[in-house]
Structures are given as C-alpha cells and as structure tokens.
Amino acid sequence: MFNRTKTVLRSDIVALLVFLLVSACQSQLVPANSTLELPSGKEPNASVSGGVTYRERIALSPDAKLVVEIRDVSYEDAAAPLIARQTIAGPGQVPIEYKAGYKRDDIDSRSLYSVSARIVESDGRLAFTNDTAHDVITRGNPNNVDMVLVLVQPPPDTVGDNEDWRTWVEVPARVIRANLIPNEREQFLRIEYYQSTIEGCARRGSKSLQVNEYDIVATVTLMQPPQTSWAIPCEDEVVQLDEIEPKVEPLEPARTYRVIVNDQVLTTLTVPDPELGFTHIAESPIENAEIRPRDGASGEYELLVVSGLSKGSSCSQFNGYEIRRSEYDTVEVTVTHHEVSDPMVACTADYPIVETTVPLGSDFEPGVEYTVVVNSDISEKFVAQVGQGRSPPWVHDRSDSMTHTQDFQGKVAIVTGAGRGMGRAVVLRLAAAGASVAVNDLRSEDAQRVADELTDSGTKSVAVQGDVTKSSDVRRMVDSTVDTLGAVHILINNAGVLRPTPVIDIEEDEWDFVVGVNLKGTYLCSRAVLPTMRSQGWGRIVNFSSTAGKNVSTVGGAHYTAAKAGILGFTRHLAKEEAAYGITVNSVCPGLIDTEMVRDTISEDRADAYAASFPIQRLGEPEEVAELVAFLASDRASYITGASLDINGGDLMI
C-alpha cells in the first residue's frame, strides 16, 4: 500500500493535511443530521466529501458529533481563516461519511487549504486519546479525503487466533470505485473496496496492476473462509478500505484510458493536452441522462449522458466518467472535464456537447428499483427486469428464473464418458447454459466429435481422451482442462460400463473392470479436481449412480450393483469432507434410460417390457437426466450435498 503521509497532531488532536482545493462537487448526499457554517454568509455551490474511520472498536455515543473544517493555511505565521465548517450530530458508528459545502468564490486557486476532522463525545471529551495518530489521505484528489485513525500498520487482518487461514480461498474484492489521482507528479491508481470487519471473515489477498494499450487493468483480492451454507454473514459489517497502486509507465496525452478493476469498467480518463497549460478537473454540466439496456449484451445496462464543456473548446477538454457503487440500490456517476485554471486566459464562447456511454454492468437484482445519480444534478430510476440482470455477488439470489439460476457463464466443466448417451446430453446441456466443457471419453474419436459440436456452436471446449481407471490419465485430463480452459468448477462423473454376467460366471478381471470404471474412476477423478476447487472456494461434483445402487440392477450384474452402491457411500462421505470448502457432492440415480449402452445390453422387446412395467410407461431420455445434473451443478442446488436424486419413471419409489 502507498505510504501515507503522517501529520503532526495539534493540541486539539485535529488531523491536518494541506492540499490544493479546486472547484468540484461529489455526488455523495449531504447527511440529513448536519449543519453547515460559512463565515462569508454565502450559499455553497461546491463541496469536498470523504469518510472518517478508525481501526479500533470504539463505540460512539448517540450524542457524539463530527466536526469537519475547511481552512486557508497558505501562511504559516498567520491564523488559518475558516472557509466552512460542517457539524454532523449523532453520526453513528464509523465509517462516517461527510460532505462539507463551500462557496467557489471563497477559494483562491493560488492558495492552500486544509480539511480537518474531530469527533467529540456528548460530555465534551474527544473520542480519541493522545497516544494515537491520525492519518489524513488526499493523495492529490481534492474531491475526496479519508481520515483514518491507524495503528502501527494498516489495516489488521480480522482473523482469529484459532482460524486455519491456510484453507481460505482467494476471492475478488467488492470494489466501490477507482480513479487516477490528479495533480501528482507520479501517477497513482486509487481503488476503494469493502472488507468485512467481522472476526474470522477476511484478510488481505493479492493485488496487481498492468497497462494493456489503453486499458489500466487492476485486481484486488481478499482471502476468505470457504463458502458454506451455514457460514456467518460476513457482509453484515464491512469497512471501506483502499489500495494505492503506482502506475509505472506514463500515460499518453490526449488519449482516453479505461480503468478496469476485477473485470469491472469503473472509470475512463483522458490525459489533458499539454497545450491547455495548467488545468484542473471539474464536473461537467449535465444536459440529459438516459438509462437503457445495452444492445447485444443480455442482462447489462448502460447510461447515455449528454454533457457540456462550460469553458469552451479552447479552455476545456473532456476527461471521462467515474462509477461509484457504495450503496446497494444506488449508482453514482461523475462525468468530468479538464479546464484551464488561469482565470486570465481568454476562452472561446462556444459550448461543445459531449455524448458519453457509461456501462453500468449487470449487477442488478431483478425486480428491484435502482437509482442512478449523475453529478448530483440528475437522478434517474429503473427497475431491473427478470432476464435483464443478475444479482450482485454479495446478494442472495431471490429470482425464480431457471435461466438465471442455472447460468454457467464463466464456469468450466469436465464430463467423463461424454462421447455418447447421457454424458453427451450433459455436455450439450451445460454448454447451452454457457459452460466451457472438457469432453472425456476412452474413445478419442467420440470425444473429439462431441467437442467439435461445441466448437461449431461457439462454445469453448477440449477433447481429452483418457481411461478414468488410470491415475496418470486422470491427472493429464485435469491438467489439460486447466491449461486450455482456465479452471475446473464442475465435475460430472458419468463414465461407466455395464455387464449382465451372473456372479457364478464373473471372472476376476471382469469384476475389476466394472468396479474400476464405475467406482474407482469416480474416486480418481474426484480426488484430482479437489485442489483446484478448494483453491477457488467453489465446486460441484455430480456422480452417476443408479437405481441399482439402491436396489439391484435391472440389466447389469452384481459387480455393477456393488459399484453403484459404493458410489452412493462415496458421495455422502466426500460431501461431508468438502462442504467447508464450498464444494457440493451429489449423485443422480437413473433408471432405465434409452442409451446405446442399454440397447446394446438388452433386446428391444425386453426394453419395451420393462417400460410397460413402470408407472411412467416409457424409458427415460438422456436429456431428462441432463436437466437433473444441470440442476445439481447450479447455484440453485447450493444447499444440497450428499444427496442421491432418483430419475426412474417410478420404477423405484423410496
């Protein structure tokens, strides 16, 4: 993290840092319980906003107050005139946000100004003691100031002494906003994000920054315990933190760059043209704003903003936009431009109009009304529609849409024995919902044929020939999937063989073969994917058992029945072991399904006779089994583990 500049404490323990204050507003709302004092008696038309927090768990009384002051500190040997004072009565607990207004006419662009803050308890004592140090962070951004009471190092990991953090998983941080800090000799990217303050919920993960042509791409992650259905609600108590990332290479003047953090476009910015001279960033006057679904991107919304350049084309240049998402149902958008700071420069009288398309993304819960605020001037509302949005990752899904809850976009699945029958049907079902799929089969030509089907339909896939009874083949299958498709989120243990041999005639080799493919293969494949699934904190394993595992096989032998019963026991045990890592393990138990393997084992007349004996008088279809498998692999089944679900037309009812 960027080293923060410490300031000297005055006798009243007010934290102070000098910075250049420019005419700009934030879209943050003024607290309702605040009062504002301007000695000049003028009405405010600009503001500076920020947040106050501290790392210690000190509870403030309901009658405490936060006092924020803006002062002119240009002269060291003279008193610092007060420009504005905001007092927030009963501010609640940290983090406390403020928005101190001031009059632009009271600010001289050649002077230096300070923002100070203090919290006073109801009995008049300060909420902080003399042995603490305040850290006021502006980092050159005059629109936002964070005042943080820090201990020796920022911020401590909220991990209990008894927590086994080695089992934790790395997840993307929930990002609030990101911006390139202006008016700095070096360029720094500031990223604000949330981290839980509940003990045992979070510790810092990794961070990275790179520039890909005109994209500034950053990641910020947290380490969290594996997700479980009984996990504590870590999002109930969070603190707003930030990371400061140095930008190594200089940005090109007059070029517009996108800032992308954790795959979200949060900001665009344009480096000012050197011919403009000394400039500052100002909010652009907004003429119009309109929310609309994004064309060609299902589930996403965008904001069309029409703004103006108030100082004319000779003295101003469009900068970009910044998206802030600090509240669940509110999106704040700030559109800015560069304008010449020297008031003596003659500017053209034209008023250029700029149209900007701001991507709002798809983190919206269907049926919920959202508000988009643009430069504090315009407020637009919209209701996210079913099928036109997805719930934010920190919000529990309440949608009844099957499409929504079985969306496998971004997921990678391995399906064994997928060259034919039920395996192929599962591959096609997962791919249709957006999954990338590794197609495994003992016969390489069968695996390649199915993989080619997916490729022709635009789905990322890879064919992996392999024998699931050989650990070397299984390791190669998993490694190839990760190398080609990037991960493994879903494993479908479908590979199986069927032999109708009576026990008296079963040779040892045949026993080993049937039990090996059905049961040992399930074990080897499951074991191979566990490290990857554990590291990402999410996984779905669906094993193919059978009605034979609960009763006896209709067409198979005792080795088949024993193997399928073993899969049920293995499923329950593995489910118990892996639940703490966010991995669910379940089984499906098909009855007589109309597949090539069944048709190769029994005659058509015998199949018809079996079908006539079922309550639903037909054989099952592979696609019907694939629907059940897709359900167990989806988020809709997140509270199901260790289960075995029957799909047999009523042949077995228990």
- Taking only the tens place, the pLDDT of each residue in 220-257 is 888 877 665 445 667 777 777 777 776 556 778 888 88
pLDDT over threshold 60, residue 6 = no
| Average pLDDT taken over every residue of the chain | 79
- 16 pLDDT band, cuts 50/70/90, is very low
- Taking only the tens place, the pLDDT of each residue in 281-319 is 889 999 989 998 877 656 678 899 999 998 898 999 999
Q: Token pair for residue 444?
A: 């390489």
**Per-residue model confidence (pLDDT) at position 153:** 30
CATH of domain 402-647: 3.40.50.720
**Per-residue model confidence (pLDDT) at position 166:** 53
Residues with a catalytic annotation lie at 560
pLDDT over threshold 80, residue 567 = yes
Rounded Cα distance between 322 and 144, Å, is 13
**Per-residue model confidence (pLDDT) at position 362:** 76
**Per-residue model confidence (pLDDT) at position 190:** 82
Within 13 Å and on the Cβ side, how many CA atoms surround 113? 25
- Taking only the tens place, the pLDDT of each residue in 133-181 is 333 333 334 444 444 333 223 333 444 444 455 567 788 888 888 887 7
- 3-state SS, 212-239, equals ECCEEEEEEEEEECCCCCCCCCHHHCEE
**Per-residue model confidence (pLDDT) at position 592:** 86
Average pLDDT over residues 402-413: 67
Average pLDDT over residues 396-406: 37
Locate CATH 3.40.50.720 in the chain.
402-647
H or E segment to which residue 603 belongs = none
Percent of the chain with pLDDT over 70: 79
pLDDT over threshold 70, residue 357 = yes
Q: Tell me phi and psi for residue 588, to 5 degrees.
A: -110, 145
Cα 281 to Cα 20, 190, 269, 303, 544, distances in angstroms: 12, 16, 11, 21, 61
pLDDT over threshold 50, residue 494 = yes
- Taking only the tens place, the pLDDT of each residue in 438-478 is 999 999 999 999 999 898 888 899 999 999 999 999 999 99
**Per-residue model confidence (pLDDT) at position 117:** 77
Cα 35 to Cα 45, 101, 123, 416, distances in angstroms: 15, 10, 20, 67
**Per-residue model confidence (pLDDT) at position 7:** 29
**Per-residue model confidence (pLDDT) at position 382:** 86
For tokens 């923060």, what's the residue?
Answer: 4
Q: Token pair for residue 426?
A: 């599962």
